[in-house]
Amino acid sequence: MDERVILEMFCRRDEAALIEVRRSYGLRLHKTALNILQNNEDAEECVNDALLRAWEAIPPVLPEKLGAYLVKIVRNLALNRWEARTASKRGGGATNLLLDELAESVPTTAYTPEEALEASFVTAAINNCLSNMKRPMRAAFVLRYFHGESIAGICKHLQISESKTKSLLHRARKILRENLEKEGINV
């Protein structure tokens, strides 16, 4: 079903919108949460929580891209759940690996208002850098660091080898770091 039709259903408070969202985006939402949490039940709970948040936010919020809006909600919920779950037991895991890979390319999280403002500049710089990357590199980067996709999953999705995927990600991190440094952002 068309994204605009689903948004109209949300605006009319038609609960069938939630069924259509599950049909259209459910698999991607679940996969994003599962990539981060590595737990099917937690992933499903994040998807349900995201649908509730979307139901409560639309309207008045009318996202430009419903799919991206929903993935962002799910991703944030999954990261929060992962952080809460691992707060007492800092161990390995897929999410730690993703964060470690990016640690040298992106500054740390903001806590004060000044740092929050700096974070908005960092976000804009990252988005600008990504928009200038060639499609395969950008796709690999977004799949890995936004959706939490495994290397094998990226290979399958982009139909490229493992070495090519690793090379794209390495070059993307290097380009990102260089661009952030040119913008005067300390990494």
Residue by residue, pLDDT tens for the chain (187 residues) are 789 999 999 999 999 999 999 999 999 999 999 988 889 999 999 999 999 999 999 988 899 899 989 999 999 999 888 888 776 555 545 556 565 666 555 555 555 666 666 667 777 888 888 899 999 999 999 888 888 888 999 999 999 999 999 999 999 999 988 888 888 777 7
DSSP conformation letters of the chain: --HHHHHHHHHTT-THHHHHHHHHHHHHHHHHHHHHH--HHHHHHHHHHHHHHHHHHTTT---SSHHHHHHHHHHHHHHHHHHHHHSSS----HHHHHHHHHHTTSPPPP-SHHHHHHHHHHHHHHHHHHHHS-HHHHHHHHHHHTS---HHHHHHHHT--HHHHHHHHHHHHHHHHHHHHHTT---
pTM of the model: 0.62
Q: Residue 36: which domain range? A: 3-86
Q: Are residues 173 and 103 in the same domain?
A: yes
Q: Is residue 29 situated within a structural domain?
A: yes
One domain, residues 38 and 60: yes
Residues 139, 64 share a domain? no
